Structure 1
């Protein structure tokens, strides 16, 4: 078979029809085989059911009579069926009464293939009804010969597939013969005749003249050939006339001072002048036939087509663009687009002029108008414009921003003593440091002299959070600017004072906000410099306090100032069931600080993760120490609070398991307390982590239950063990009060979910009595004990154990 023949339509047609016929035959047969699978499974199921029904009653009587001989006959009769290779009768005591089996059929590769697609239950157990019933364990067990069944099915399926493919090939062959006789052969004759037309001055006789479509095709080619000869003569004459006018047009384009591109309406370049090739840094042949959009930064082929469609014959379009040449350089151009019609065909003529000089001048004018010439920072005009925009925006969306007004300390002394060049160098270095440490959306400006102003346009949804963030940035600036400046061999020290004003305030404009920041700056100067102050004294105090706490938390972890105290959890008979680990901060100056004063700040600053890991490890080590000293049997668990931020850490589960292995503490002794809102906001993640930890025996409690917003439906799907009733429901609780109704619902919910209930904040016997009356048997609160140090708790635990032993 020659290479030329395989490209013939007849060959491609034969190959396609044959392949499609075989493919359709294969699909049809495969579909039939697939449909037969369910029928075959149903037939086997019916056959097995018929065999079982045939022997079920006899087998039941055999079991009832415990007739082993008759049972052997029944099982032997069952395996006579080729689809059964093992049968067993189990009596109503669960003992094997009779068994018969034979070797299953050999599992050939065909049987293995059939078993992969033809899967069914090969092990069948059918109960035998014994009257009167005893233990109801009697059953008939049958194992099917899967190899025999699969082998039989595969052979039948292969035969069906083979016959279908043979019939498809035969039909395709007949179809191809007919097509070749009445279609392909005439087309080949016409194709050879057409090839003769190319080299002939006179039209040869028609190869096919029957009154059908192919005859019309041959006649049409003959007419076209005659018309072509006539048109060719006319075209040659027209080309001679156009060549003269084209030479004139080409001369005009090549000598033009601007780059000129002649494009089709789809933006394809069909002609360009020498100036265009020079501006693109390439030869003309390299971009002819390409889209003009390839050399444009601002326009795509689609947008150029849309633009060209709007250009009229008398309405040229002028636009600016960035031209990209072959070297990857960007050149600003001004382009004028004109629609032209030549020989009833539309074209777009583009005249592009380099405007780099003009753009550079405009940029210089812009920078002089809006930027400081020394430092490159924004000037007062640009800063106030952006401040006005930010204030207007925040008045609409209720967000807050801040203005930091800065003045360099001792700068005048340095400038006067060492000269303006040194002073200018310091100002430039200050600008670099401020730009480096301020956020990207901030605007930093120089107002003149040594005054710098920073705009933090969006720092939070509350004035308090905005003040905290602004204070943090102010501290960073103070720390950065106290670093000595190295200028011309001089080591110079120049700190800064910062005044801060928070916006927006509907009563104050941008200029008034700036004046407030300047007022705060003046207050810093009077108080000793190198610090910051807020215009609002209350905000200053709040931000300063939060910063002191945040800084103190770092020192507390570093200096080991945190302690763990433990509050007992007791039963209704006053046995200590466990304890909750509670954090205390022993401040070197303020003494013991309760968690309520610093936990929220730790969570907002992210320090809660490190603190939480410290609590978890210390609690496990303390529990390990108590175990070595000896724990009473009544002690069940140690409860440890877990912060939502700590719990959602990617490595939380691995870290907990590592700590358990390190301290050799069994998970059954650990209870992790989590909050309701964490479950609601991160249900899927929380559920997966809880299940992983549950495998090590760790239990989970919902802390302060009833004060969050979690759905009760979630409680059913989570591996929870304990609900802790919040103290707000316990304080002043009486059996007939409204709070009692709420507590009763919580306890009933826990009972239905098989959860333990512990009431927090129990301080009086009346509260304990009311809780016990409602069904609560777990308590924690000052009535039983205040939080104790580790040694105090262990001593109390030993005393309580000795009391119960007595």
Structure 2
């Protein structure tokens, strides 16, 4: 009966209060225009075009009680503000108060909401402080207080960032989701409500807490503002009011359990009027009940506060069992409060962590100390680890006895990571992530000390980008930074584990190579090879914000150790060599050592001439005859000669190795093939020469090229030469690499009628198993065996073996390097039927072949 009476009293009181707070309602309806811009969950229009959201529903309820007819007017944020200032709309919800707005707008007194500004970013970007906003593109609502505040905040930290104005918060979030911005600033309620749908995350950057109001034009609609104030004041003092129900429905905070003052006065008055009827017992029960509610409300407020802070707060009894844990502690343990109470640290952490916590807690409980210490806590399974700065205090009763401890722990894991980052910044370049000048000098000093003992040689490559200043001046420093980052990536891909690549500053990079050959010539070749690879890699066009950009580099090289090989001296020499490369026209490398530089320059000059001569076809073929046992001409071998316009006739030994190492052997090989096929066509028209075969040497790099088969067939097709008259000579060394592919290519050529010979046979490591599978037509005995045929029985035995092998495999055999009559006769006695060498003729112009005597040649003695 007591509860029923209480309900009636409260109902009567609420009715009275409800009656007193609506003095502005009237029988006559009033039209009120309201500006609406989409800002969920605070204000929006529903599908029927009516006000919705937290502020919309509150205004709907006020309008219902005040008999207003709300007329929503959709507009963008800046437009809504202008309409409110001009008086074209009566009310503008969700306006943060500031002095400049107060000059043109009126605000009511009781805030409708409390919010703050927060930065949101995509899931791959971690923002922990304002410093992380440097160089980012940040979307912000045009004309908002957030825009002005953020600009001032960035200026105060001297941070450069691009603020992108957005007409609406939705468009700001869309800019980040589409990759047109890195982050967006929004009020916390809108951001938390919409971030998941845009796959964005909230950052730790919060600023500008704000109270939000309904605003109207200066000097107008005071009655509207007064009515809004009256309703908000009554609702915010009632935990069960429509205000808190609306907040909870839209994901807002729980109401604070505060009983409005007017309710207290009403209840007190009613209690005094009915105290005689209810008696002293009811009064006592009521007082106990109200005190309990006060305690519960106080506890609820305290829990709300403790759950809102980012610290880990807990209470343990003298047995170190948890008696209280706030929200952060429960989240850390992955359990709710009821599951945490009564448990000890051994049930949440590994044994080492629990032991350390026990020692720290015991000092508090037994000695009464205030303990402040850093704790490293690992989970029970050891998979996660956090660093905490913990402060632990003893809790004492009225007699001073310690009955528990209270701990407050702050997660400093990120702080410790930041310290590591600071250490990273001390030794690494923040733009490229490469070692900086300090770390380079330290490693160079160590390398000089190591190489001074004569164990190895090293080299320093000073790399400077050509015309980098022009890029910064024309396209801006942002584009320059992008180029530097891409250059660092390309350089890193050409660095070995034992080398050091660093950014010295600006557009200067330094590469320190270690472990080079002790022979200066070989070391120079190693460094030259590495430097040329870098020059080619850096000359490939870059893509900078969608546009193509070409940049080159000049490289100076200094070998060490040398005389006076100090750190400064080595850097100075490399720097001087770099300027020599600049003076030589850029996009080049130069050695500091004059002799080595001369050798490199000569090699570079020869390579340049070789390329030019390929374009001008400054190459001719000489031919060395091949004869049978009677001295009759049966074929020839084509040997290339370089008809240099200045140097004269250059023998192949001087340029073939260079062509091999530079890849020029490929175009040179095509040129030789075409010339040989054309010569076969000329011979085919001469009855005396039509039967001749022409052998062409093919390098390993040429034969393994994917287009080699097509190159041979194209040369035959373009010239009209007969494939069976063309003989391609391969060396045994080519059998070492990818034999199956080699056999496949040889079979394709064999199927087209091309003859195949194995040159220099006996000097390699041919497997007989592979040899029987190769579609060969001829073996050529290496001249080293022929030269010592008469002096060394072992060479004679090898020659006999090769001749027998050829006979068994049905292959013809040609002896190379026959220079004496005795060698010729000995080979004939062993059964050899084909010969080639100086005894018959040296390589010479094609006329030597064309004028070969028709009668059998008698070799000269």
| TM-score after normalising by structure 1 | 0.49
Kindly indicate which of the two structures has a greater share of residues assigned to helix. 1
| TM-score after normalising by structure 2 | 0.46
